[in-house]
Structure 1
Amino acid sequence: MTHAVTFVQRLTAGAVEVDTSSRRLAEYSYDASNYRVEPVAVAFPRNAQDVSHIARLCAEFGVPLIARGGGTSMAGNAIGSGVVLDFTRHMDRIVSVDAASRTAVVEPGVVLAELAEAVQRSTADQLTFAPDPSSRNRATVGGSIGNDACGNHSVRYGRTGDHVVSLDLVLADGTRLTATRSGLCATDPADIAATERASALSADLRALTARYMAPFRLELGRIPRQVSGFQLAHLLPENGFDVARALVGTEGSCAVVVGATVTLVDVPPSALLLVVAYDDIVDAARDVTTILEYSPAAVEGIDEHIVATMTARRGEDSVAALPAGRAWLYIDLDGDDDAAVAEHARRLTADLRANGRARQFREVRDPGERRQLWRVREDGAGLSSRLHLADGSTVTSWPGWEDSAVAPENLADYLADFRNLLQQYQLIGVMYGHFGAGCMHIRITFEQRTPEGREVMSAFLTAAARLVVAHGGTLSGEHGDGRARSQLLPEMYSPTIMEAFAGFKALFDPGNTLNPGMIVAPEPITAQLALADIPPLPWQTTFTLHESAAPGSSPFAEAVQRCIGVGRCRSHSGGVMCPSYRATGDEKDSTRGRARVLQDMVRGADTMDQGWASEDVRDVLDLCLSCKACSTDCPTGVDMATYKAEFLDHHYRRRVRPMSHYSLGWLPRWLAMTSRTAPVVNRLLASPLRSVGLRLGGLTTQRPLPTFASRRALRAEVGVPGGGTGDVILLVDSFTRGFRPEVAGAARRVIEDGGQRAEVRTDVCCGLTWISTGQLRQARKRLARTAAALDDGTDRPIVVTEPSCAAALRKDLPELVGSDAARRVARRVRSFAEQITAQSETGWAPRVALPEAVTLQTHCHEYAVFGAATQRRALAAVGIDQVREATGCCGVAGNFGFEREHYDVSMAVAELALAPALRADPEAVVLTDGFSCHMQARQLAPTAHASLHLAQILDPTLENDR
């Protein structure tokens, strides 16, 4: 114990950024694998000198050192019991891009997609970085080097190792060397000790190669995706003693990569996606050899399980572009011009028809449609974790055997035999992957919670290893061996090769401190499983969480286990999730980081054993904006806004809440009062008392407040509410009643302009402010009253002007109240944009001059609950096609942006999408149906027409100053 304390004291005493808090350790105890190992510290080095310092300390104290990129490893090789190095915070520079030499120099924390985009920008779209795994928008160069990652286009471009020119390394003792394609040298030529170490290590490596030359030639490098083990064939004389490539795929177990020089490839000027549908995944695999004759850039496959799950999760529209079938191949064809690529596709299609296995074909040229189709494939790992089966049930699948590979010509037979093996063990496997390279990603319904389930898992994996070896394949074709497969390597390699692997690691890392247990001297594959031995606690919730709880578990525990670590929430582009992470770049502010701390809470780990009282969980949830985007953008459907509301509800029972929970959480109650005294309140807020009042309420003084509306103003817009008649119920929410009554009037006029009578309701509440502040008992009471008031025995649509309130009524109402009335009301709810699309389908068209173009800020809750394209569809329906969309959270997100401690993050989030969109066209009409978005847009661009509701744009009686 004293030894460990001394190490931590020495580690944290220097200038290196180190975190040993229990919350931080929980965040980094997981990657995207089945495993959980708590580190002793997490370090965020700024340069190679920091890494060298940490390595020397770890070597001195015998503490493991684990290099980590995006934390998306599915094999468990990005976690460990020592110091975890996170390179993504500081060591993420693109040092240079040289178009002439077709190379780039990068630090290990650079995200793959960001490197590719930077290269394309600097070379006028002539060059790019080729490796493109599905996780490329959060996976890093360093992690890809560690695993020898490949990606969708590996048929054309091979593995990461094929693109490595040199690697800058820190060895276990802190020595800095550079590995090249012809040997080793000191990174700093003036470093005499490093030069001597490079010379001695080179001699030892040559001796090792000479000793094992025949086995290297016979057993290594036999198929394109033979990633398992170390790639020591690169040390052979005929391969030029390529130490750099020999170190690719060593999973951080031999050296820490602190820099890399990589090669760049051409960007084809023309491309086409050919989607081919089959009745069976094995039939699809049998056509691969024919397809490879046409030199495709990619041949990817998915099965019916992924498509069924995508349909259940994201609707029919998400897979509408797929031809009918039960298995699909995505074939990327490219070339110098469109005509040549089209002819290539025609000839390939003819050959596949002649084979007689393909059922339907679809050529896709539009880049947007291609991206939508690729998303089905790229979200495969997350989607397949919660499979929706044909009978309507759901099952959970896990990695462990998600990465095997065979030669492409053997793929069909391997898959046929593998399906039989699954049936033998009564397991379900979802199949997708890189068919053109013979690499399969198969997630399987292992039961890891029980000893019996773990025994089946171990037996199956051993049998699967023997099967893939019998087909001439490899245990890993991309993800590495890690904790998931290293124990099985003797099934694939001879004792002689295993001895060589151990010798290779010992030369680089004689003290075994670098990521121990990877490839050499592993633990059993069922050790350190995250799901093993979780206490069977009830975790009662107010929300009804629709989870199929495993024996001994609870719906809440199952819900937070939805996060499997794929890390899409850590991307900086695409979708809306996760705005706080995009603003701060800190793992704790990602959906994944929050989920991991919650997972430690339900397992009773360390300080999280306080359960609902945990301060660590409260802290990690603090910057969650409750935007709900993760419920849609996360491939596994993590709904952090719901989990946060549930946690806050329990956490603050018998505790004093933050003042903003009373000032903003009870806002509908205060608005009922201010509607009677609006002129007085507005005068007070314009006086010096404003700052005092805001501070007392826990609110920021830096944000302008809206003007409070009176009941008279509301009645002037909508008349006397109620009446009990109408084709449509127009529900005017608290925000619209209290601050934007003109929106209610415009909405009524637009609905009636479409030929329908609107019954205006102002007497019900969606409970949103109580939900977002975790006051769920109060929220449920109000929602129960709302359900009773609106459940009138009709099917009349309930149109809600505020999209966040519409989302609360659609989703939270049935989950909090749970009655038949609540479910009936929820099904009737429409956002105003949905109403406009429906009106347009009846032949209605607006009778006002419309803007040619708008800047659109879709409210996050509408995006999550009603769909990302809801607003765009409405605009297209009325003839507005020029839309600049600020895709992302506005940053206010209900109470979040008004709270004093969150103002800076709120504005940083605004700079991600909304602020740049407003600056791009300052004179544009800005569409903000959400009140939060409206307030942020007004602050960022306070012009006369800066922020309008869709109803105001379409209002037949209003003259909009555009």
Structure 2
Amino acid sequence: MSTSPFVVLPSSHARAHDTFPDAVELAQLLQEQIRGEVRFDPASKALYSTDASNYRHIPIGVVIPRDEADVIATVTLCRRFNAPILTRGGGTSLAGQGCNAAVILDFSKYMNGMGEIDVQNRTVKVQPGIVLDRVRDAAEKLHLTFAPDPATHSRCTIGGMIGNNSCGVHGLMGGKTVDNIATLDLLLYDGTRLTVGPTTESELTANIAAGGRTGEIYATLKSLRDTYSAQVRERFPNIPRRVSGFNLDELLPENSFNVARALVGSEGTCAIILGATLQLVQSPPCRTLVGVGFPDIFLAADHVPQILEHKPIGFEGMDGLLLDAMRRKQKFAEELTLLPDGNGFLIIEFGADTQPEANAKARALAAYLKTLPAEPTTRIYTSAEAKSVWRIRESALGATAFIPGVGTGWEGWEDAAVDPTQLGSYLRAIFALMNEYGYRSPMYGHFGQGCVHMRHNFDLQSEAGILKFRQFMDRATDIALAHGGSLSGEHGDGQARGALLPKMFGEELMHAFRTFKRLFDPTNRMNPNKLIDAHEPHEDLRLGADYNPWHPKTHFAYAENNGSFADANLRCVGVGACRKTDAGTMCPSFMATGEELHSTRGRAHLLWELMQGEVLPDQWRNKQVKESLDLCLACKACKSECPVSVDMATYKSEFLAHHYEGESRPLSHYAFGRIDVFARLASYAPHLVNAINHTPLISSIMKKLLHIHPQRTFPRFSKPFTPDRRLARDPQRRRDRRIPLPADAPEVFLWADTFNNYFHPAAMRAAHQVLTTAGFRVTLPTQHLCCGRPLYDFGMLSTAKDYLLKTLNALTPQLLAGTPIVVLEPSCASVFRDELTNLLPYDPRAQKLHDQTFLLSEFLVKHAPNYRPPQLDEKILVHGHCHHRATMGMHDELALLRLTGADVELLDSGCCGMAGPFGFEKDKYTVSQTLANRVLLPAVRNKAASTILVTDGFSCAEQITQNTKAKPMHLAEVLALRQSTDPLS
């Protein structure tokens, strides 16, 4: 029998069927009374059942208000039905405060406005759903900033930051969110509206004298201040990162009785924030970053106090385990080389009005570090290098969440903070406890303020493992408190640490906290059982001892996920990087719609819930899951940009394969999925087929039959590329043919993909010329072959396997000989580099083809070191195909183009929106055009006439030509320009 004082409590699975009895009536009334969106359907509940934490609560429903009137009406109706309410921002909370059995208000879609910046007072008014980076980008134009900047800055909302009292990298420069709030506009559950901020004694007296609900609030707050001032001063840790508990210290006279700041960090348990006035700070325009390497993270932590004397504005730490995790995930390989030698790293940023000033501060620190007995290594970075180093640090959470070969790292004890002078001692003590329990976690975080983040390999699926986790939490709490620390230094208490707060504050202050909570929320309807009177940390787990998902038979192997589709979808830990809209490719459909349903995270949560069978019915036949996946463009960006490498393109194919088992498919699936068959037939008489396809009446009928949007035009078929025919017709090529190749000239196999061979043979022709000129004997397929790329878009995986087996059989001689296979179309190359080994994991030829497949740029860089491209004076504008970026990367292509001497610019254009058949489909046309017009099409329309436009993806080129008069070129065509007859010119 266990001697633990704890017991395993009911998990979320045991209570998944609990329902709110009046949900249907509440939803109907909400739909009648608000302009916003009311979603009480199973999929919406599944989407919002968890955040980025270990916890899972099925909500009553979701409301997406358009304005304050919607919020007021929603609260009024919820009060009528006694329904609890949870306000949610970006859904990235780590302590469980972002999920509850409540009506969830999501402000991020509509209530995300921002007023004009008041430069004189350095303030700006915002709505709660605005994303932090929008505020910071606007402020930076005026050399101002909102100082708190957590790693989730590209998608976290201001409302969520206020709820959690977020901070981030530059806490040294401007403090936590609480230090940067001027006023808050509030709505209470009982309907009370008030604006709060700092309060003078005369204002306090007047507010109390006014009576009513407002008078009651101020009178009780004054009583709390007067009763507990001594306790607050004694028990609240005097450290930079105390986030745990309520901010009763803000009611003290020395803090101006600031009610707004007292409510920061209350995690939605007291009031609804309708608006906030933010205090901005000056942003140093010039910055210099220094990297410091110590033998271990403990020595690095020991030296934090001395380094703080140099007055940095940012001060982060990372250990070697974090870097090992990134290497295992094959992420940031180039960036990691920028770190100095060592196994414990500090990243220190200095700011100033001029670059020489910032550089001087950095050099002074470097000189000081040379005098230390620990002999750390240092490196001062250029601005470009600094961006790469910051990328490493910002990706730390995702890097530790899932590590191949190690498993999932869970939150729980991920956020404690101590005084920086105690940091080395604290880390050694917590590391010893981890060793005792057999836990492992990288250590990283805001070392300059003593805040350390971790994610441990807790066992949250067995009774023994859960009890062990709970015991560890208790003992880790003791260690943090022994070092004068706080249980939370940034992420809040929520459910992860709420039940531990009595150990930190004592019963008297806990009574004060409960009084504070009940003052604003007497009926406990605002995010109940979080932070105050919280459920236990080992209760309501997303997993739990009764976790028993469905493990269906699958087409793909999912080798990195124990062969389990359920485990694959467990990868997503809610980091929310797929909700960014400002850069990169992931997630294009979310960028277009702003819907959680269309984010990678949303889809992963739906598929995970589908494997539970508790909220979402019908398994593979579920229509709402299919609806979510329908707008997935299968861009693969999530596999590279998602910190935990969620592979939604593969999951979509898997789902669709089973969804249509035994069912008839739409005609368009066969027309698009088997396009290689029709392209081959059309190639016998392409001019005739093109004439028929573009006859108005026939074209209109075909578009209706295939559900193609009327604005799209059919791509034109061509005769396939045949080297001998072209050489015979072109005297110049005949001269090239007589270029003497050595008898032992190496062979390269040029893959004749469907798109370039039957639609764009000029690229095939140019690639043949380039490879021949580079000194290679080029061979081509002797039969019709296709990788089957379009089949994956429709889940036609059995047919895809047949295509791949045919390909492997045909290429067996080349595979055995080690012949490089050069592929021009990135989406086809990605089949061989990705889907192939996942579909045919036990065929050794599959791995060979994976290893021997190269894009043209990769091949020339890696296998033709003496090759020199033609010299060009023009500017080159490059749009990278999604699969190119995600699976192979753009480095080799850009390097090769820059060897031409041209001015090369890679557009941060994300997905073009065409994505094979996606952009042709009638119901997806709007999304397709929205994505194309985000960056790509404006850049194309604004380019100079002489600028060469390069994109290797057939779909990308098609999107451009269908919307502009521009004629994009494949890399091969650019390299064939002015090509000399010298094989190595």
TM-score by length of 1: 0.94
Q: How far apart are residue 221 of structure 1 and its match?
A: 5.0
Q: Deviations over 1:275-306 (max 9, x none)?
A: 11122111110110111001101111111222
Which position in structure 1 is the counterpart of 2:840?
817
Contact 1:185 1:195 in 2 (8 A): no
Q: Name the CA distance, whole Å, in 1 between partners of 2:543 and 2:201.
A: 43
Q: Over residues 897-946 of structure 1, what are the superposed CA-to-partner deviations in whole Å (9 max), with x where a residue is unaligned?
A: 11121111101111122112113315222111100001011122223xx2
User: Which of 519, 535, 545 is the matching residue for 2:558?
Assistant: 545
Which residue does the alignment assign to 2:915? 893
Residue deviations 1:771-794, cap 9 Å, x none?
Answer: 221111110111122123223212
* Matched residue, 1:683: 691
Shift of 1:577: 0.4
The aligned residue for residue 644 of structure 2 is: 636
Match in the other structure for 2:417: 405
Aligned to 1:309: 325
The equivalent residue for 1:955 is: 976
1:417 alignment counterpart: 429
- Separation in structure 2 between the aligned mates of residue 655 and residue 444 of structure 1, nearest angstrom: 44
Cα pair 1:58 1:513 within 8 Å, conserved = no
Deviations 1:471-499 (A, max 9, x none): 11010000000011101111111100000
Identify the range of structure 1 (874-883 vs 236-245) with the bigger mean alpha-carbon deviation: 874-883
Question: Greater shift after overlay, 280-289 or 870-879?
Answer: 870-879
- Using a 3 Å threshold, how does the CA distance of structure 1 residues 166 and 715 change in structure 2: closer, same or farther? farther
Any conservation in 2 of the 1:220–1:231 contact (CA below 8 Å)?
Answer: no
- 1:430–1:152 distance in 2 versus 1, CA, 3 Å: same
Deviation larger for 339-348 or 854-863: 339-348
Amino acid at match of 1:132: D
2:342 aligned residue: 325
Q: What is the aligned partner in structure 1 of residue 537 from structure 2?
A: 525
On the 8 A contact 1:146/1:248 being kept in 2, the answer is yes
Q: Which letter maps to 1:928? A: T
| Aligned-pair CA distance for 1:884 | 4.5
Secondary structure of 1:596's aligned partner: helix
The answer for the alignment partner of 2:523 in structure 1 is 511
Offset, 1:796:
2.1
Matched, 1:877 2:891: no
* Match of residue 396 from structure 1: 408
In the superposition, relative to structure 1, how do residues 600 and 718 fare at CA in structure 2: closer, same or farther (>3 Å)? Answer: farther
Query: Could you say which residue in structure 1 is the equivalent of 2:733?
Result: none
Match status 1:592 vs 2:613: no
* 1:521-565 deviation per Cα after TM superposition (whole angstroms, max 9, x unaligned): 11111111111233243322111212243xxxx521111111100
Matching residue of 2:300: 284
State the secondary structure of the residue aligned to 1:92: coil
1:295 is paired with a residue whose SS is coil
In structure 2, relative to structure 1, the CA distance for the partners of 1:725 and 1:655 (3 Å cut) is farther
- 8 Å CA contact 1:305, 1:387 repeated in 2: no
Q: 1:625 to 1:54 in 2, by over 3 A?
A: same
User: 750, 757, 777: which is aligned to 2:798?
Assistant: 777
- 2:75 is aligned to 55
CA distance in 2: counterparts of 1:724 and 1:666, whole angstroms: 39
Point out where structure 2 has 5 or more consecutive residues left out of the alignment. Answer: 1-19, 730-742, 981-985
Trace 1:768-917 onto structure 2 (pairs within 5 A). Answer: 768-792=789-813, 793-818=816-841, 819-838=843-862, 842-847=865-870, 850-917=872-939
Q: Is the 8 A contact 1:230 1:249 kept in 2?
A: yes
- What is the match of residue 658 of structure 2? 650
Q: Return the alpha-carbon distance in structure 1 between the equivalents of residues 386 and 253 of structure 2.
A: 44
* DSSP 3-state at the match of 1:212: helix
Matched with 1:274 is 290
Task: Determine what percentage of the aligned residue pairs are the same residue.
Answer: 39
Separation of aligned partners in 1, 2:377 and 2:800:
50
Q: What is aligned with 2:440?
A: 428
Once the two structures are TM-superposed, the CA of residue 674 in structure 1 deviates from its matched residue by: 1.1
Q: Which of 366, 377, 381 is the matching residue for 2:393?
A: 377
Match of 2:785 among 731, 742, 764: 764
- Alignment partner, residue 366 of structure 2: 349
**Relative to structure 2, which stretch is displaced further, 597-606 or 562-571?**
597-606
How far the C-alpha of 1:185 sits from its partner, in A, is 13
1:482 paired residue number = 494
Matched residues in 1 for 2:352 and 2:237: separation?
29
Cα shift at 1:453: 1.3
Deviation, 1:61, is: 1.8
- SS class of match (2:610): helix
CA change 1:716–1:64 in 2 (3 A) is farther
TM-score (norm 2): 0.92
- Correspondence 1:709-728 to 2 at 5 A: 709-711=718-720, 716-717=725-726, 727-728=747-748
Structure 1 731/499 Cα, relative in aligned 2: closer, same or farther at 3 Å? same
Query: What RMSD in Å do the two structures reach over aligned CA positions?
Result: 2.3
Contact conserved, 1:92 with 1:109, CA < 8 A, in 2?
yes
- Report what 2:168 is aligned to: 151
Gaps of 5+ in 1: none
Once residues 614 and 682 of structure 2 are traced to their aligned partners in structure 1, the CA distance between those partners, rounded to angstroms, is 47
Partner residue of 1:13 out of 32, 41, 64: 32
Q: Distance between the aligned counterparts of 2:310 and 2:921, measured in 1?
A: 59
Shift of 1:394: 2.3
The structural deviation recorded for 1:208 is: 1.8
CA deviations over 1:60-103 (Å, ceiling 9, x no partner): 22211101111100011111111111111111001221111111
Q: State the Cα deviation string for residues 710-745 of structure 1 (Å, max 9, x = none).
A: 24778645899xx99952111110111110011100
Matches within 5 A, 1:103-252: 103-121=123-141, 123=142, 126-182=143-199, 196-220=212-236, 222-252=238-268
Q: In 1, distance between residues paired with 2:122 and 2:211?
A: 29
- State how far apart, in whole Å, the 2-side matches of 1:868 and 1:18 are: 43
Cα distance in 2 for residues equivalent to 1:880 and 1:423:
55
Q: Is the 8 A contact 1:53 1:174 kept in 2?
A: no
Distance 1:184 1:936, change over 3 A: farther
| Corresponding residue to 1:534 among 528, 532, 547 | 547
**C-alpha contact (below 8 Å) 1:659/1:698 kept by paired residues:** no
Distance in 2 (CA, whole Å) between partners of 1:627 and 1:424 is: 44
Q: 1:204 to 1:919 in 2, by over 3 A?
A: same
Provide Cα deviations, 1:744-803, integer angstroms capped at 9, x if missing partner. Answer: 000000111111121122632212111221111110111122123223212221110111
Cα shift at 1:194? 10
Aligned length: 938
RCO higher in structure (CA 8 A, sep ≥6): 2
Amino acid of the structure 2 residue aligned with 1:694 = K
Query: For the residues of structure 1 that align with 2:129 and 2:561, how far apart are their CA atoms?
Result: 38
Question: What is the alpha-carbon distance in structure 2 between the residues aligned to residue 904 and residue 956 of structure 1?
Answer: 37
Structure 1 position 448 matched with structure 2 position 452: no
Aligned partners of 1:502 and 1:769: how far apart in 2?
59
Aligned partner of 2:948 in structure 1 is 925
| Partner-residue secondary structure (3-state), 2:214 | helix
How far apart in 1 are the matches of 2:959 and 2:169?
A: 40
Contact kept, 8 Å, 1:469 with 1:492, in 2: the verdict is yes
| Shift of residue 347, structure 1, vs aligned partner | 2.2
Deviation sequence 1:27-64 (CA, Å, 0-9, x none): 11111101111111111112222212222222222211
